[in-house]
Structure 1
């Protein structure tokens, strides 16, 4: 059995506006890469798969396509990566240098940049000297210059009162004639007006949400999906309900008065997912840019009723599980009561919004929950310590296996050389007449069969050897994370953030803890199980 090799073609295009489908630039990149692969005989052995990011900046690696690619690389499934040029993979020259000089060589991954004429097989753990390093620096500087130009262009558009976001707010849609202008969505506008009307009558956000849920009014998320919008909203669970936060988002949006409001957040650089909130006095507000849904008077009246009161910090104690405790039914984050830690509890607020909700009505004591979680962490630490010992045993055996397999390959390769020599000798005997034609053909056929079987044997052993090398490089950072808190008797926020992703509550008697880096843990479990099973096979008589 031959080793399966996979070549990953990676394409990327950064664009300001989202387009439907793939752009021509992505198509051109794909055609260039396919042509290069076809014209390179040494790449014909690879199975080709594609990873694509259409509409993502190259200033960072927070892209779905490149994330999926790197995950496959870490899993040992990719042998070669090919890109049009280095800027397609990324524009940060430091990060690219790390991948080309350290990460990819360590994982045994070949990297090819077609237009840069770079092939990592031509270099030994370097980026190819000054030429490639200089190109990376130029790409990075170009990206920073482009970032500043994009900022300036955006600000000009904001000051003109143009709509620059990808998706229109609920109650509006983009004008078919001018995508930079908002027009009223005749179906959703009635719901927006009704929300403001109920708010003006004195109903609070919870009451408004409950009424809309009782009447089965689609939420903005559901409505957008029904209209064919593929925007990825931050929602959880299989159902979506009106919440007080949904209502408040609409009530506090000044765009419903006909004003265009931009510049609420500012990113440190173009492509960054982390924005900084800008003071309201610095927002760019342009009046009369589109049709108003509510009057200035009604909006001002509602703002006065719903203005957020100045919060007074009552408690200074650390709350290690805040944001991690979630309802096991609806999967929303559970609310924490505004009370001291000794009496605080978590509860699911869905019953305030949805009649006949199946979510738990139990109040989960924070003190009890923290003690339970801490106890489970201690047990998980014991599991990790046992796992570490098993991994050490498997690695010890794996090192022994590598030595054994290497020696077996050497011996069989020696036998293969002898078979090929005997094939040459048979031909020489046939040529000098000491072996007749019929005997020579029969001998040649038999030796050819033995050579084919020996080649297959070597391929199987090389596959096993490569597998051992990959397994020995399994990450064990999750074990180190748990060991760091061995003996701790208090659950700190640092501990909870490092170890726990979520805690799902199904009532006062049942919880489920989802650990961080569970994919890494499962790979370790599979590694140990495979190592144990392989050792049994190797020791069988």
Structure 2
């Protein structure tokens, strides 16, 4: 404690704080403005000398776990500082309880003078009745202001999320913030190509670990290191080494992220309230999900195929970096469990077979369903080429139908039939109601009423089935109104296959079932679309404008 000519001198710490989270106005509450105001004020205080200044820039006032504030408290504990000066109470803190504890208990106990300039409060001048009422009241006002600001900010952020605006600090790997619109994502072509390679390698049969190893061997920077190379101050809890490398976890995170097909999911984590800063996970149904929020890096079809693969049992053989061609695809036709690939040595050669995994674990649970891998592969290749040819024929027929005046006439005819059936449903419902009224009024017996209801229900079911059938036929016409269908293009790119690959198998086949008699049942992808096209063609072939001769010439 210093004294000059009998006057006690206070060693003061200037404390300033600014946070947009509190709704602070940078113009009036800027760091420089706060410092300038405090220094001008202290010129008139001959008993106060400045020994340090502490700045918390970007820290909310709802809690006191701020680096500069904690440094100041250490100086108070060591005796270096015995006076704290702030612009006003809101700069000190916006937590009613915590602010009151420091001002009314901690500082008096430690012998610290507290000055809040704009609130005209100086603890050295004594505590009046007015101060005892006004200081807690002002702290409560500041607390309420912070709460209201927090609610407004949360509401604004939620609106932006629902609009599809990106509100994160850093764009995910493969994207960057758009130059002219910071709340929109733009594709980062370099990183996007890496993402495409990751999906391509997975489709070709590589494991997540294998992909990570290849990326590291190629010297491709991990997402964290790539952001740092761009000058972004990005931090993550996943880094455990001096330089973060690609890992199987990081690869899987990319493979399962719908962001790469244009879907923006935000609001996955939140804080319980404006005073608690610990982030907690929100239930998935509360996430804000916006489709087509930005440009996709990969197609939805590729994303769906790869994520279906992740659900399969795709173990990698020893000394191999890729899974077997049919891993996770071929299954037992009876028990539906996956088949396993086994090696049988004979006469110095190795022969490969598929066998039921249930039978291997328990002989009584299922039969072996044994089939040679070579004959199996040949059969699948033949069936696949035949199916692709069938799809190509469908494309040509659809193109022919597109040239006919069929669709509009047929839709009008089907729509009139639906309307007629709906009128019939309405009429039957009215008859059922009248029958019930007759039963209540005792004009008919209970047995007669039941007989009427049974007859009406049969007619009702027939009319409703007709409505469903005609509606489906209209959908078929609409869905197949052009030969340029994405599902057709997916098959078309693999026509005239000579050798099967993992990529071809997983792109075109959903599942292959093997039965005991050697029969295989292949479930190709896009079965719904295929059946819809067949129904549409069958319906169109009955039209007067459909000429089979012309169609054969076109094919």
What is the TM-score of this pair, normalised by structure 1?
A: 0.51
CA contact (8 A) 1:58 1:91 kept: yes
Deviation per CA, 1:485-528: give whole Å up to 9, x if none.
Answer: xxxxxxxxxxxxxxxxxxxxxxxxxxxxxxxxxxxxxxxxxxxx
1:37 maps to 2:42: yes
Displacement of 1:16 in angstroms is: 5.1
1:126 & 1:247 partners in 2: Cα distance? Answer: 65
Relative distance call for 1:270 and 1:174 in structure 2 (3 A) is: farther
1:276 & 1:78 partners in 2: Cα distance? Answer: 38
CA contact (8 A) 1:100 1:127 kept: no
Match of 1:268 among 272, 276, 279: 272
1:81 & 1:181 partners in 2: Cα distance? Answer: 44
Relative distance call for 1:178 and 1:98 in structure 2 (3 A) is: same
Match of 1:201 among 199, 204, 210: 204
Relative distance call for 1:167 and 1:24 in structure 2 (3 A) is: farther
Relative distance call for 1:198 and 1:240 in structure 2 (3 A) is: same
Deviation per CA, 1:278-313: give whole Å up to 9, x if none.
Answer: 22222211111211112212222333344699xxxx
Displacement of 1:170 in angstroms is: 1.5
Once the two structures are superposed, the pairs formed by residues 370-381 of structure 1 within 5 Å of their partners are none
SS at match of 1:82: strand
Relative distance call for 1:244 and 1:127 in structure 2 (3 A) is: farther
1:239 maps to 2:259: no
**Equivalent in the alignment of 2:469:** none
Displacement of 1:22 in angstroms is: 11
**Equivalent in the alignment of 1:87:** 90
2:27 & 2:274 partners in 1: Cα distance? Answer: 21
Relative distance call for 1:141 and 1:261 in structure 2 (3 A) is: same
Displacement of 1:174 in angstroms is: 0.8
Displacement of 1:158 in angstroms is: 0.9
Displacement of 1:253 in angstroms is: 2.2
**Equivalent in the alignment of 1:27:** 32
Relative distance call for 1:17 and 1:90 in structure 2 (3 A) is: closer
Answer 1 or 2: higher relative contact order, Cα 8 Å, separation at least 6. Answer: 1
1:169 maps to 2:172: yes
Q: Which runs of 5+ in 1 are unaligned?
A: 310-541
1:12 maps to 2:14: no
Instruction: Work out the number of aligned pairs and report it.
Output: 306
1:5 & 1:242 partners in 2: Cα distance? Answer: 56
1:292 maps to 2:296: yes
Relative distance call for 1:308 and 1:261 in structure 2 (3 A) is: farther
Cα RMSD of the aligned pairs, angstroms, is 3.3
1:184 maps to 2:206: no
Match of 2:72 among 69, 74, 84: 69
What is the TM-score of this pair, normalised by structure 2?
A: 0.50
Relative distance call for 1:79 and 1:248 in structure 2 (3 A) is: farther
Relative distance call for 1:50 and 1:171 in structure 2 (3 A) is: farther
1:255 maps to 2:259: yes
CA contact (8 A) 2:213 2:246 kept: yes
Q: Which runs of 5+ in 2 are unaligned?
A: 4-8, 314-555
1:22 & 1:118 partners in 2: Cα distance? Answer: 24
Deviation per CA, 1:203-237: give whole Å up to 9, x if none.
Answer: 33333222222233222222212211123433445
Relative distance call for 1:251 and 1:40 in structure 2 (3 A) is: farther
Larger Rg: 2
**Equivalent in the alignment of 2:101:** 98
CA contact (8 A) 1:100 1:126 kept: no
Displacement of 1:2 in angstroms is: 6.9
1:214 maps to 2:217: yes
Relative distance call for 1:62 and 1:307 in structure 2 (3 A) is: farther
Displacement of 1:262 in angstroms is: 1.2
CA contact (8 A) 1:257 1:299 kept: yes
